[in-house]
Amino acid sequence: MPNTAAPQVYTWRQFVAASKKNGKGPLYTRYVNRNAAIPFTFLFWKLGLSPNAVSFISSLLTHTGLALLMAFQPTVAICVTVYLFLAIGFVTDCCDGQLARVSGKTSRLGEWLDHSFDAIKSITVPLILGFALIRESIAGDLSLTLAFTATLLNVLSLSTHFFVISLKGMLLGKEEADTMSVEANNWRGRIMRSITYLADYGIYIMTVLLLPWPSLFLKVYLGYGIFYFAFFSAYFLRVLARAR
């Protein structure tokens, strides 16, 4: 059953306090994206939009940006425009949860939609970035093999990241997942958490700004794919080992 019990009148300060989530998460998401989302959430709340509608808006913004990248050559102007669509799509991705908290309109359907759109995005974003790179490789003198390899590694690493984080509780159960969270506070956990900060989606989408310089983008994109595919694969195996 959806939860609908929540106050309908807030001061701005009360609204900010009610919309905020706990302090967990990568640095960009925690300090930049969630705070940037609050004014958007306030606007959506005033307009009377539901959290599910905001989830659709977020996905539409993200995939409009990706469609632009597919339709046009990656000039500086196009890449900046694409980045803005992706960044605002990420901001509004935080809004559905904030809106659900302040409006009390939480539901299993809303949670499912949020995870479904995130799952789709974890594949389409690296895939379309790779498409743009492969197109530039065909037109220029970049290695097509490296471009395909970079695309494959990025799709696998982002999708692995999403599914491992999302399904950890299902695979391990709450008690074991909580144990892993406690262990994340030791020195090894802090090192791993520091590594994941660069894997923050908000930082990852900044790579689109390098596409006007395909050779530089290939180096960064390939490096990202190799490092994080290895890292998240190791984390996935660790979760699987605990699930036995």
Q: Dump pLDDT digits (tens) for 157-207.
A: 888 777 776 666 666 666 665 555 545 556 566 666 666 666 688 899 999
* More confident position, 63 or 5: 63
Kindly report the pTM of this predicted structure. Answer: 0.85
**CATH architecture of the domain covering 24-243:** Up-down Bundle (1.20)
Q: Using pLDDT thresholds of 50, 70 and 90, give the confidence band for residue 233.
A: confident
Looking at the chain, the whole-number percentage of residues with pLDDT higher than 90 is: 39
Q: Under a CB-based contact definition with an 8 Å cutoff, are residues 96 and 109 in contact?
A: no
Q: Under a CB-based contact definition with an 8 Å cutoff, are residues 225 and 146 in contact?
A: no
Distances (CA, A) of 106 to 102, 110, 120, 200: 10, 7, 22, 25
Res. 109: pLDDT tops 90: no
Distance CA 190, CA 200 (A): 15
Amino acid at 40: F
Following DSSP, what letter does each residue of 146-185 receive, concatenated? HHHHHHHHHHHHHHHHHHHHHHHHHHH-HHHHHHHHHHTT
Res. 133: pLDDT tops 90: yes
Residue 1: its pLDDT value, please?
Answer: 43
Q: Under a CB-based contact definition with an 8 Å cutoff, are residues 99 and 49 in contact?
A: yes
What confidence tens digit (pLDDT) does each residue in 44-64 have? 988 989 999 999 999 999 999
Residue 177: its pLDDT value, please?
Answer: 57
Q: Using pLDDT thresholds of 50, 70 and 90, give the confidence band for residue 244.
A: low
Res. 139: pLDDT tops 90: no
Residue 110: its pLDDT value, please?
Answer: 83
Looking at the chain, the whole-number percentage of residues with pLDDT higher than 70 is: 75
Mean pLDDT of 114-139: 92
Mean pLDDT of 13-21: 69
Query: What 3-state DSSP class applies to 3?
Result: strand
Q: Under a CB-based contact definition with an 8 Å cutoff, are residues 159 and 166 in contact?
A: no
Residue 198: its pLDDT value, please?
Answer: 65
| Domain regions of the chain by residue span | 24-243
Q: Under a CB-based contact definition with an 8 Å cutoff, are residues 157 and 228 in contact?
A: yes
